A and B are shown apart, each in its own frame.
Chain A
Amino acid sequence: MKNIMGIIYTGERDEQLKELTAERAVAAVPLCGRYRLIDFPLSAMVDSGVRNVGVITQKNYHSLMDHLGSGREWDLHGKRSGLAFLPPFLNNNTVGVYSGFLDALHANLNYLRSCKERYVVSTDTHMLFSAKFDELADAHEKSGADITLLYTRDPGVRRNGRGRYIQVEEDGRVSRLEVDPTIPRLPCTYLETFCIRRELLIHLVDEAVSQGHHHLTRELLMDGINTRSLKIMGFENPGRAWYLDSVQAYFDCSMEMLDQDTRNGVFPADRPILTKLRDEMPSRYVSGAVVKNSLIADGCVVEGTVENSILFRGVHIEKGAVVKNSIIFQDGLVQEGAQLQYCILDKQATVLRETRLLAPKSYPIVVAKNLTV
């Protein structure tokens, strides 16, 4: 039994995915036919032996609550521990909306104090990667660090003007940190995931907030690294990582999942990604359907043509409809003879007969939830 608890922060930066996050937190953005972004860190935590996870939410958390429920699908519905949903609330010390992760942790200090685990693994939901948090915690314990940061060398997550980058010395110690540089200079990308002793986290958060700080990375960590007042180590996460900071990045990441090797990296056979179940029947391919290189969830009915696309649960592609290079969320309907190219249809969207929605590869069209085109 690992002595680790988990924190998943789902706040901030919801606006980057535009329509996709108009009514949901980034953590609840659907991915890969049947998942939501939060399924990846949450499943990785459960696989790492974490039995107690706090999900800190900020805004738009209704769909996230609906998705997580009691945590049953992740075996987090137990008596002794489980899933704690931590929405913001107003009291004498907080104003309801957090200006940074540090504020969010501060508002939940009593929750952190009530937990029993020795270590905390904290992560975010803007990045997609396959991680073994138990290995992070082992490395953390072994090195005697105050804080261990998870990082990647995958160049695909580097962005000009955005992101957190670190330099890791040969002995594993983090010597420099930069936040949102115009052009990233440091070689490694911090995955906004760290491990720390729970009591030390409580102490550091309390101390930093009392000094007027709001941000964990750019204030608390930066200070600890620059003054060397904290022993902050780096731990490399092997494999790919994706930074879902735009509709284009979301679209590209989704399409990469059509590649078997990439898919196997994100969905390791021995560490399944768990998600909410819907009891859909198998998908039905009617005579005359043409399907090529596509990921299709259960409950779909395919009568037309689907190529290089991802269909979520309960999608119906009618006869003569042609769907290429597109992503269709849950219960979408593409009527007879309609054509789609480089489109993202949000939940329950309908494309009427003979409608053509053909976008260029560099600018996928997003059709909002419940909309009829």
Chain B
Amino acid sequence: MLRKKRCVAMLLAGGQGSRLGILTRHEAKPAVPFGGKYRIIDFPLSNCTNSGIDVVGVLTQYRPLELNAYIASGSPWDLDLVNGGIFVLPPYQTGTTGEWYKGTANAIYQNLAFISQYNPDYVLILSGDHIYKMDYAAMIAHHESHNADATIAVRQVPWDEASRFGIMNTDKEDNIVEFEEKPKHPKSNNASMGVYVFTWEKLRKYLTEDEKDPNSSNDFGKNIIPAMLADGQKLVAYSFNDYWKDVGTIESLWEANMDLLTDAPEIDLHDKKFRVYARNLGMLPQYIAESAQVDNCLITEGCEIHGIVRHSILSSGAAVAEDAQVIDSVIMPGARIEKGAVIRRAIVAENAVVSAGARVGEEEGLIAVVGQDAVVPENAVVTAGEQFGE
């Protein structure tokens, strides 16, 4: 029997993130690089560390190699512990049965035994799709003080976007009275962030019942929350209105990166009291050459800059050759921009090469993407909105 924990976090990291197109062809969405030296999953993991949560199960399914290698022992997040730590939980076989994770609820259901080991009071359900800094401890305290069975983090979204989200209608005491998945005519603009706190016994009960229903799609939003509401369980909303960004599409991933370049970024990565941890590669400091121009950009370790970089983010080990220009773009780890190439409003993925004289993206229009390991030939053109790669 392991020592009892107050809260166990379960991070759903199995989705492909197909709306990220070529960027998630080789790796799962949570492993996609962000902000120069992070990956998307660093945000929920660092939130756990900063919230004092020290048991984290990471549910993987789609292309887990990069993610597994990235998480490894969990030491970057101080999660390599004797009592607790980080655990990668893929789907598994049991005797003659065994199956893939059918939905978010089923993924947790298949790992009830993992959670049981710690006999927790609460279970925190997270996803690996968002960029945000949140103190989960405050949300758990809210759950406790409201004596809730489930607490759902919500944020106010613009009314015209509300119909894209799961909307929580609440009374004056934050009690959720109604849940509508992507309503045509929303009654409120409180959108679910996909962050849930459940009281452990309730979660176990509803997941077990849901599993018995052959017609269920085994999803938290579609099945578990409605079932609990129908039974009159106490569901409360916890509102969170700091920076939060879904990075599920190419455009939103690019926008979230650009958000880091505003004068006082809404998400502060400098803050020593709430650090975002990442697996550090320990490369040489960045070298900015005589011929370089750097203007409103984030540049990190291992970069070699000889050209012009303006309003852009350069990740670990990226190189920009002389006379090359990188404007309004995100260059991911190890990518190389060769002599005279011009990158505008684009994402160049890991280890890609943009050869001399090539042009990627345009001053306006959709974001252009160069896929992982792809090589854009000399003087080639990748237009706005195009995804270049195999």
A293 at the interface (CB under 8 A from B): yes
Query: Is the pair B286, A296 in contact by a Cβ cutoff of 8 Å?
Result: yes
Residues of A contacting B269 with CB < 8 Å? 281
Query: Is the pair B280, A289 in contact by a Cβ cutoff of 8 Å?
Result: no
Could you tell me which residues of chain A, from 3 to 26, have a CB within 8 Å of some CB in chain B?
none
Interface stretch, picked from A93-101, A225-233, A272-280, is: A272-280
B287 at the interface (CB under 8 A from A): yes
Query: Is the pair A281, B36 in contact by a Cβ cutoff of 8 Å?
Result: yes
In the complex the two chains form, what is the Cα distance from A261 to B217 in whole Å?
A: 59
For B299, give its contact among A33, A258, A279, A285 (CB under 8 Å).
Answer: A285
Interface residue count for A (Cβ, 8 Å)? Answer: 37
For B294, give its contact among A279, A289, A298, A301 (CB under 8 Å).
Answer: A289
Residues of A contacting B314 with CB < 8 Å? 282
Q: B interface, by DSSP: helix, strand, loop or mixed?
A: loop
B298 at the interface (CB under 8 A from A): yes
Given A281-B36, A281-B269, A285-B296: A297 and B290 interface contact (C-beta under 8 Å): no
Greatest chain B CB density within 10 A among A73, A279, A286, A291 is at: A279
CB distance from B304 to the nearest CB of A (A): 8
B328 at the interface (CB under 8 A from A): no
Residues of A contacting B297 with CB < 8 Å? 284-285
Kindly report which residue of chain B lies nearest to residue A274, judged by CB atoms.
Answer: B282
In the complex the two chains form, what is the Cα distance from A11 to B295 in whole Å?
A: 45
Residues of A contacting B277 with CB < 8 Å? 279
For B270, give its contact among A34, A72, A291, A299 (CB under 8 Å).
Answer: A299
Given A281-B36, A297-B301: A291 and B282 interface contact (C-beta under 8 Å): no
For A279, give its contact among B278, B288, B292, B298 (CB under 8 Å).
Answer: B278
Query: Is the pair A272, B313 in contact by a Cβ cutoff of 8 Å?
Result: no
CB distance from B351 to the nearest CB of A (A): 14
B81 at the interface (CB under 8 A from A): no
B29 at the interface (CB under 8 A from A): no
Greatest chain B CB density within 10 A among A73, A273, A289 is at: A289
A295 at the interface (CB under 8 A from B): yes
Could you tell me which residues of chain B, from 273 to 326, have a CB within 8 Å of some CB in chain A?
275-278, 280, 282-290, 292, 294-301, 304, 313-315
Query: Is the pair B284, A32 in contact by a Cβ cutoff of 8 Å?
Result: yes
In the complex the two chains form, what is the Cα distance from A141 to B125 in whole Å?
A: 58
Query: Is the pair B290, A293 in contact by a Cβ cutoff of 8 Å?
Result: yes
B18 at the interface (CB under 8 A from A): no
Query: Is the pair A277, B287 in contact by a Cβ cutoff of 8 Å?
Result: no
For B37, give its contact among A274, A281, A294 (CB under 8 Å).
Answer: A281
Given A281-B36, A282-B36, A282-B37: A295 and B298 interface contact (C-beta under 8 Å): no
CB distance from B254 to the nearest CB of A (A): 17
Query: Is the pair A282, B284 in contact by a Cβ cutoff of 8 Å?
Result: no
Kindly report which residue of chain A lies nearest to residue B294, judged by CB atoms.
Answer: A285
Query: Is the pair B276, A281 in contact by a Cβ cutoff of 8 Å?
Result: yes
Query: Is the pair A260, B270 in contact by a Cβ cutoff of 8 Å?
Result: no
Residues of A contacting B285 with CB < 8 Å? 32-34, 295-298, 310-311
For B275, give its contact among A279, A282, A291, A298 (CB under 8 Å).
Answer: A279
Residues of A contacting B298 with CB < 8 Å? 281-285
Given A281-B270, A282-B35, A285-B299: A267 and B284 interface contact (C-beta under 8 Å): yes
Greatest chain B CB density within 10 A among A260, A273, A293, A296 is at: A296
Residues of B contacting A142 with CB < 8 Å? none
A80 at the interface (CB under 8 A from B): no
Q: Mark A66-77, 1 if CB is under 8 A from B, else 0.
A: 000000110000
In the complex the two chains form, what is the Cα distance from A302 to B285 in whole Å?
A: 14
Kindly report which residue of chain A lies nearest to residue B277, judged by CB atoms.
Answer: A279
A361 at the interface (CB under 8 A from B): no
B75 at the interface (CB under 8 A from A): yes
Q: Mark B153-181, 1 if CB is under 8 A from A, else 0.
A: 00000000000000000000000000000
Residues of B contacting A279 with CB < 8 Å? 76, 275-278, 280
CB distance from B340 to the nearest CB of A (A): 20
In the complex the two chains form, what is the Cα distance from A301 to B284 in whole Å?
A: 18
Query: Is the pair B270, A275 in contact by a Cβ cutoff of 8 Å?
Result: no
Q: Can you name 27 A-B pairs with beta carbons within 8 Å?
A: A34-B284, A273-B284, A274-B282, A279-B275, A279-B276, A279-B277, A281-B269, A281-B270, A283-B286, A283-B298, A283-B299, A285-B294, A285-B295, A285-B296, A285-B297, A288-B295, A289-B295, A291-B292, A291-B294, A294-B288, A295-B284, A296-B288, A296-B299, A297-B286, A298-B37, A299-B270, A311-B285
Binding site for A on B (CB under 8 A): 35-37, 75-76, 269-270, 275-278, 280, 282-290, 292, 294-301, 304, 313-315
6 closest A-B pairs by CB? A33-B285, A282-B36, A282-B300, A281-B269, A297-B285, A282-B298
Binding site for B on A (CB under 8 A): 32-34, 72-73, 258, 260, 263, 267, 272-275, 277, 279, 281-289, 291-299, 301-302, 310-311
